Amino acid sequence: MDKLKIGVYWAASCGGCDCSLLEVNEQILDVAEAVEFLLWP
């Protein structure tokens, strides 16, 4: 089965939500194994 494709983009925000995604620490590595990040500037 293909991995879920995800794009994370700031749009009109300050970037705080982007930083919050990284505050999950090592758990983001588990997510990265399960999905394919297409865009995360």
* pLDDT tens readout for residues 3-41: 999 998 877 777 777 778 778 888 888 988 999 999 887
Q: Which domain holds residue 24?
A: 4-39
Domain count, the chain: 1
Q: 6 burial class (0-12, 13-18, 19+ CB within 10 angstroms)?
A: middle
pLDDT at 16 (0 to 100) = 76
Whether the Cβ atoms of residue 1 and residue 32 lie closer than 8 Å to each other = no
What pTM does this model have?
0.60
Token pair of 20, please?
Answer: 């919050």
Euclidean distance between CA atoms 3 and 25, whole angstroms: 21
